[in-house]
């Protein structure tokens, strides 16, 4: 038992590490929450820079010579306008992670272009010590934006992808011979910029980990550790509309544990809770990572199987029944009555219709003797 627990813990740790490095297998809830956070923070940062960027024009005009100061003023005005476009050109909050990441990419593109234009503009001018100090602020602009990545819940791959243009822009300045500072200073700056990118990415991953923990805590049933019905309905809505837009299959399995009330009546609620936990552990063990288990109510569970046709759903349920749902307190195996429905085959117009269809088939399985499955086409198997 201890070895099995250690193995399960190890698998969970690997899954968590994968989710912090690669975003491809994030749950729909995590994707939506992440999209909302990233898009809202992009808006706040873009608005802040749209306001602050043109304010520095006064300093440029006071301390830099003509016509450089006016070139920089025009560049700042253009950058402020670009930040405004980012702020109001993308949704302030969105549930689509792809849209949120595009907004973040657009936000970071503005300072990259600003840096690539402003540094060459300053070439050919001789600055005094104060002017050189102000010019250095332009030279180290990528540092500000790389550090800013730390406020976004991002994965390691995303951190590398968003840091790369900022680092490469500094490399381009050096290769192009547009350095405002000595070459050795840029070499040290590049090393420091890379280190800062790693730290900012780790901070973003830490935010992502914390956000995922909050989503997990708020969306899962305390006893069984599967999704609650409230969250399940939200996920059903998302998955159903996605399947409808893409015209792909989506299957549901409605599971009702047989004679569960007798467990509580004969052995007490504590043993009933343990039976529920064992059943849920069995469900999670045999299902694919992309499948979603929802505690629909009491001893009823719903399995959402995205991009799964009736044949695939039947294979999954047969695998579940072969593995079993654990034992009851008296040592007998816990069985279940199961109904399967599929969006395309059943021609359902909404997720609620799909659930109703699976629920009806589950009741037919139960009335026909329990411990059996009714699937699409009213086919029954034991």
For residue 158, give every residue at least 6 positions away whose Cβ sits within 8 Å of its Cβ, in sequence order, or none: 23, 101, 204
Ramachandran class of 55: left when φ > 0, alpha when ψ lies in -120 to 50, beta otherwise: alpha
Alpha-carbon distance of 144 to 129, in angstroms, equals: 22
Eight-state DSSP code of residue 290: T
pTM summary value: 0.74
- The answer to whether the bond into 138 is cis (omega within 30° of 0) is no
Given the DSSP bridges, would you call strands 292-297 and 300-306 parallel, antiparallel or unpaired?
Answer: antiparallel
Strands 373-374 and 300-306: what pairing? Answer: unpaired
pLDDT tens string, the chain, 382 residues long: the values are: 434 444 433 434 666 788 898 887 787 788 889 999 999 999 999 999 999 999 999 998 999 988 999 999 999 999 999 999 999 999 998 888 999 999 999 999 998 899 888 888 887 778 888 887 887 777 777 888 899 899 999 999 999 999 999 888 888 877 776 665 565 566 767 888 889 999 999 999 999 999 988 888 888 888 988 999 999 998 899 899 989 999 999 999 999 999 998 888 888 989 999 999 999 998 888 888 789 999 999 899 999 999 999 999 999 999 999 889 999 998 899 999 999 999 999 999 999 999 999 999 999 999 999 999 999 877 655 5
The residues of the chain that CATH labels 3.30.70.270 are 229-381
Place of tokens 């923990």: 213
Report the top-level CATH class of 229-381: alpha beta
Helix (H, G, I), strand (E, B), or coil: what is residue 22?
coil
Widest Cα–Cα separation across the chain: 92
């Amino acid at each position: 038992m201890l070895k099995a627990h250690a193995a399960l813990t190890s698998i969970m740790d690997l899954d968590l590490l994968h989710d912090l490095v690669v975003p491809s297998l994030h749950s729909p809830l995590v994707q939506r929450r992440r999209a909302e956070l990233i898009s809202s923070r992009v808006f706040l940062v873009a608005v802040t820079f749209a306001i602050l960027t043109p304010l520095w024009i006064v300093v440029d005009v006071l301390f830099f010579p003509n016509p450089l100061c006016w070139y920089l003023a025009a560049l700042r005005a253009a950058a402020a306008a670009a930040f405004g476009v980012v702020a109001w050109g993308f949704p302030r909050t969105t549930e689509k992670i792809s849209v949120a990441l595009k907004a973040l990419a657009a936000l970071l593109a503005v300072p990259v272009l600003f840096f690539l234009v402003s540094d060459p503009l300053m070439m050919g001018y001789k600055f005094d010590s104060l002017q050189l100090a102000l010019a250095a602020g332009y030279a180290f602009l990528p540092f500000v934006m790389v550090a800013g990545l730390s406020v976004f819940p991002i994965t390691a791959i995303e951190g590398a992808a968003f840091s790369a243009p900022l680092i490469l822009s500094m490399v381009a300045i050096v290769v192009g011979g547009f350095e405002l500072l000595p070459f050795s200073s840029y070499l040290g700056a590049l090393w420091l910029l890379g280190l800062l990118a790693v730290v900012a990415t780790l901070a973003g991953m830490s935010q992502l980990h914390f956000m995922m923990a909050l989503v997990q805590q708020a969306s899962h049933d305390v006893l069984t550790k599967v999704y609650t019905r409230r969250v399940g309905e939200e996920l059903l809505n998302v998955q159903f509309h996605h399947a409808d837009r893409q015209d792909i299959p989506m299957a549901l399995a409605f599971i009702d544990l047989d004679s569960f009330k007798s467990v509580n009546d004969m052995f007490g609620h504590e043993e009933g809770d343990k039976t529920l936990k064992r059943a849920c552990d069995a469900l999670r063990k045999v299902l694919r990572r992309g499948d979603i288990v929802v505690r629909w109510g009491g001893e009823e569970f719903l399995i959402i199987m995205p991009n799964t046709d009736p044949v695939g759903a039947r294979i999954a349920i047969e695998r579940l029944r072969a593995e079993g749902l654990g034992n009851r307190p008296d040592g007998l195996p816990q069985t279940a009555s199961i109904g399967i429905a599929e969006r395309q085959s059943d021609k359902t117009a909404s997720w609620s219709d799909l659930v109703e269809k699976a629920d009806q088939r589950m009741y037919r399985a139960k009335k026909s003797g329990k411990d059996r499955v009714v699937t699409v086409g009213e086919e029954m198997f034991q």
